[in-house]
Amino acid sequence: MAVASAAKQQEQQPEQPAEIKVEKFDLGAMLQMGSWLIGRLAERWPHCSTAAYGTKLRQWAGDNSLFFVRTSNGAALAAVSTELMEPAPTVRLLFLFLLDRGQESHATRLIRATEQWAQGHRASRLIIDPASCDISPGRLKTLIRADLVSTLVRTVEPLVHAG
């Protein structure tokens, strides 16, 4: 009778969502997600060839100064830098791409992991470029509870030599 009662209680409890694991982007991830990620990188930054992105993935995965991680539904790359006039390092999330953009919980988990990594570097700021993220700027602001600061960007035209 106690076994039946325990089984009935277990049936009544709502199923807990599976924990989203954040893992280092490694060789296994390259085999599993590499083609998709190379396509997304080429879409966002078309100036590099797919072969160049394949090389970059291997470099990023082996570079301990970068934070290159994934979940089952996405990947993110962050880098830490020291700005000349800033009192502490800054972490820049270079990209955050999702296989299924409807699963924002994976983006949130990747951002939280990046924040923890930034804290380990004693960074004072985490900068995210919305153009390199699969979450809209407004939704991103809500997810990370951040100040939305505009950065002015001007494209510099190359010099043309007369003559």
17 compared with 135, residue with greater pLDDT? 135
List the structure tokens of 141.
């602001």
Query: What's the pLDDT score for residue 1?
Result: 53
Fold of 19-144: Aminopeptidase (3.40.630)
Task: Inform me whether the pLDDT recorded for 14 exceeds 50.
Answer: no
Going by the DSSP 8-state scheme, the letter that residue 73 receives in this structure is T
Task: Inform me whether the pLDDT recorded for 101 exceeds 50.
Answer: yes
Q: Sorting pLDDT into bands at 50, 70 and 90, what band is 34?
A: very high
* Inter-residue contact 77 to 66 (CB < 8 Å): yes
Task: Inform me whether the pLDDT recorded for 69 exceeds 50.
Answer: yes
Say what the pTM is.
0.78
Going by the DSSP 8-state scheme, the letter that residue 159 receives in this structure is P
Residue with tokens 């001007």: 154
Q: Sorting pLDDT into bands at 50, 70 and 90, what band is 61?
A: very high
Domain parsing of the chain, residue ranges:
19-144
- How far does Cα 35 stand from its chain's mean position? 17
- How far does Cα 156 stand from its chain's mean position? 28
Dihedral over alpha carbons 17, 18, 21, 27 (to 10 degrees): -130
Residue 157: strand, helix, or coil? coil
